[in-house]
Amino acid sequence: MSDFDSKMLEMLICPQSGGPLKYDAKSQELISKSAHLAYPIRDGIPIMLVGEAREID
């Protein structure tokens, strides 16, 4: 993970579901499969607000 710290990812959980997150380097997002949400990463900072997340299938 060049743009995002893997140790930070281990500490973060989805604020909606409390589940784990996966890093998507291509889209620069943190993916919550359990909540069906993708949280954006802007300038290396994850935006962990449900209102800022986009819904995914």
One-letter amino acid for residue 8 of the chain: M
Q: What is the CATH number of domain 6-55?
A: 2.20.25.10
What is the pLDDT, as a whole number, of residue 4?
Answer: 65
Q: How far apart are CA 19 and CA 30, in angstroms?
A: 12
Q: How far apart are CA 12 and CA 24, in angstroms?
A: 14
Q: How far apart are CA 39 and CA 31, in angstroms?
A: 6
Does residue 1 register a pLDDT over 70?
no
Q: How far apart are CA 10 and CA 56, in angstroms?
A: 22
**Has this prediction a pTM greater than 0.85?**
yes
Question: 8: which residues sit within 8 A by CB, 6+ positions away?
Answer: 46
